[in-house]
Amino acid sequence: MNLHTGGSAGTWKLGDLTVNRIGLGAMRLTGSAVFGSGAPGDRERSISVLRRAVELGVDHIDTAAFYFSSLRSANELINRALAPYPEDLVVATKVWPGRDPSGEWWWATPGQLRGQVEENLRQLGRDHLDLVNLRIPRSRQAGSIAEHFGVLAGLRDAGLIRHLGVSNATLEHLAEARSIAPVVCVQNPYGIGAPPEAGAVLRACGERDVAFVPFFTIAGEGREAGDSAQVLSVARAHGATAAQVRLAWTLQQGAHVLVIPGTGDPDHLAQNVAAGALRLSDDEMALLSSRHERGEAGPEPI
């Protein structure tokens, strides 16, 4: 496929912020393991990937203070590469989970959320955050998020946060959050093979003009080795990679769907951006949505 810019897939709004539908996830900038807990990545290469992404039209970067390895922090890499920030760049982060310096996970109480927000502000060198997603733990899938989301709504009112979203959210979470403050996006795992309930959240977002921002659309390292015959067949027909087919399939689920594939590799970055120009036929979409593809959703560690 030829190189295309980040605008090839069109745009959508995160509140009053218009972004191209292909963004960049910052997790892999710090290392190869899930959530950046592996060996540190190459600093200058990561910085070059961030700068190249902006050159290619990426104006939506997803990060978190807990994306770090022994020597690298995604937020600090973003700050180093892109500050002073382009006016049209949206940097989204997430709170509730955290990691101590040893890498151990912890979950914030409502009273600790402001500290997590301020940590992101400090690392990114910002006076406000464009978008903060409340990342809901698996243990709260059947519980209320009102207390935590209410704190973020207060920080939004105070001017520290511009827009709010929810992540790992159910339909009930979305409804509860929207009763407290405007929700501009839902960030959930989704891609070829996602379970039916994931599609229900995607459709509900579309009905409410809320952006749906899936992660693990391509999934973890080595995914290509496990790609099905259907994915590989469609990829060959288009002269594309399996990852590009997965991104294109996801983007064609609705105009409100944004993707944030993560990479620390300049070539993969260019391929991911080019996927915005790939259009799959109705037959190809149906083939990739068939029962043969069910149950492939990527792992979700927290």
- Provide the annotated active-site residues: 67
Q: What are phi and psi of 95, to 5 degrees?
A: -135, 170
Stated as kind and residue range, the H or E segment containing 162 is: strand 161-167
Terminal-to-terminal C-alpha distance of the chain: 35
Closest CA to 233 of 280, 270, 272: 280
Question: Amino acid letter at 69?
Answer: S
Alpha helices per DSSP H over 1-139 = 43-55, 74-82, 113-124
Burial of 207 (0-12, 13-18, 19+ CB in 10 A): exposed
Closest CA to 60 of 35, 85, 80: 85
Question: Amino acid letter at 112?
Answer: Q
Closest CA to 124 of 56, 52, 50: 50
Q: Are 164 and 131 in contact (CB under 8 A)?
A: yes
3-state per-residue secondary structure call for 88-104: CCEEEEEECEEECCCCC
Tokens matching residue 199? 């599609």
SS3 label, residue 61: strand
Q: Are 13 and 54 in contact (CB under 8 A)?
A: no
Cα separation, 178 vs 172, in Å, equals: 10
